């Protein structure tokens, strides 16, 4: 392994620590003296994040100060409802076709205008995960004047979020797109799903 000249590393780490540049250098790069190309995409998940000091994005960037490739993108996000901290680091240019959990801290800037007016867009999706998503984005996808969903969509969403965005399952603006969903994975601590069953008439509801 020490003779490797190229290394691509992609994984999600869910073990209570953030993988940063210092850890990559200490545990991997220091043992690969012939390595001349290193591409990576690493997503760290910290649960019970209120029990630790959450590093800033600047802290994470500083750990890559000695990397040959200085084009390292990082983003640190805290999700208070889930009490989780997520840290995404990757070498640029991005090489994967899937970007895990897009948030406001995306790429090289903070996108503050999450509610900006946009023209109607038509997209083709087969599965949509809105579990760890701000409700502004939930509205963007479910209101038919903003997004026109096609039929046969699988939706992952929390019961509480769907209840608020649909005005307790009475909102006309979200009814059309919700009727196009054929499977909904509903994350909830409660078991009251009657109103949601009526609002998603064509969906098989899978409570979690």
pLDDT band at 156 (very low <50, low <70, confident <90, very high): very high
**Contact (CB, 8 A) for 205 and 193:** yes
Q: Tell me what the mean pLDDT of segment 62-80 comes to.
A: 85
169: left (phi over 0), alpha (psi -120 to 50) or beta: left
pTM confidence score: 0.56
Strand order in the sheet with 72-79: 6-13, 37-47, 84-91, 72-79
What's the pLDDT band for 111 if we cut at 50, 70, 90? very low
The pLDDT tens digits of the residues spanning 25-34 come to 999 999 988 8
Contacts of 143 (CB under 8 A, 6+ apart): 173, 174, 177
CB 49 within 8 A of CB 19: no
pLDDT of residue 54: 86
Q: Given pLDDT bands bounded at 50, 70 and 90, which one contains residue 114?
A: very low
| 58 Cβ contact partners less than 8 Å away, ≥ 6 residues apart | none
Is there a contact between 205 and 184 (Cβ–Cβ < 8 Å)? yes
d(CA 182, CA 152): 5
Cβ partners under 8 Å of residue 25, min gap 6? 66, 67
Q: Which of 29, 94, 90, 95 is nearest to 61 (CA)?
A: 90
**What pLDDT, on a 0 to 100 scale, did the predictor assign at position 113?**
45
Of 3 and 178, the one with more pLDDT = 178
- Polymer length in residues for the chain: 208
Please report which residue ranges of the chain form alpha helices under DSSP H: 21-27, 57-62, 135-142, 159-165, 175-179, 194-199
Residue 99 has pLDDT above 80, yes or no: no
């Amino acid at each position: 392994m020490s003779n490797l000249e190229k290394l691509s590393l992609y994984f999600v780490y869910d073990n209570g620590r953030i993988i940063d540049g210092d850890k990559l250098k200490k545990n991997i790069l220091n043992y690969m003296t012939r390595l001349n190309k290193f591409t990576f995409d690493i997503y760290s998940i910290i649960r019970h994040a209120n029990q630790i000091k959450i590093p800033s994005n600047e802290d994470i960037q500083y750990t890559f100060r000695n990397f040959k490739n200085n084009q390292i993108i990082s983003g640190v996000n805290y999700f208070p409802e889930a009490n989780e901290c997520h840290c995404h680091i990757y070498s640029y240019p991005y090489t994967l076709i899937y970007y895990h959990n897009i948030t406001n801290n995306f790429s090289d800037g903070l996108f503050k205008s999450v509610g900006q007016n946009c023209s109607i867009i038509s997209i083709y999706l087969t599965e949509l995960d809105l579990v760890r998503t701000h409700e502004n984005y939930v509205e963007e996808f479910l209101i038919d004047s903003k997004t026109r969903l096609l039929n046969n969509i699988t939706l992952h969403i929390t019961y509480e979020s769907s209840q608020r965005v649909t005005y307790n399952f009475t909102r006309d603006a979200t009814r059309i797109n919700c009727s196009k969903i054929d499977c909904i994975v509903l994350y909830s601590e409660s078991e009251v799903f009657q109103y949601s069953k009526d609002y998603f008439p064509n969906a098989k509801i899978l409570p979690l």
